Amino acid sequence: MRVIVVSESGRLTLPIEVRRRLGLEGESEVEVEVEADAIVLRPAVVLRREDAWAYTLEHRALLARAHADSREGRVLQLTEEELQAVGP
């Protein structure tokens, strides 16, 4: 265990071995959570608002169903011409 200093303004510096273990490189964003008497830091993944739809429960369920169909061989193979006829 290491002791680090929290500055008067609330800043702290994570030791390099901690940053490496968390996969933090350069300027990084982390989630901060307070649990009882501990602070938990987790690397954060920040998404653009217009990309957030891909992570909704509904979309993830559709994707899981598509992967299951693919594993079971329920796929549709199209030629390039057929694919172009489907649309952009």
- CATH of residue 13: 2.10.260.10
pLDDT at 46: 86
Domain count, the chain: 2
**Low-confidence residues of the chain: pLDDT under 50:** none
Both 27 and 42 in one domain: the answer is yes
pLDDT on residue 49: 92
Q: pTM of this prediction?
A: 0.50
Question: pLDDT value at position 88?
Answer: 74
pLDDT digits (tens, 9 = 90+) for 17-28: 999 998 999 899
Q: What is the pLDDT of residue 79?
A: 92
Q: Are residues 53 and 79 in the same domain?
A: yes
Which residue, 46, 40, 49, is CA-closest to 18? 40
3-state helix, strand, coil in the chain (%, to 5): 40, 15, 45
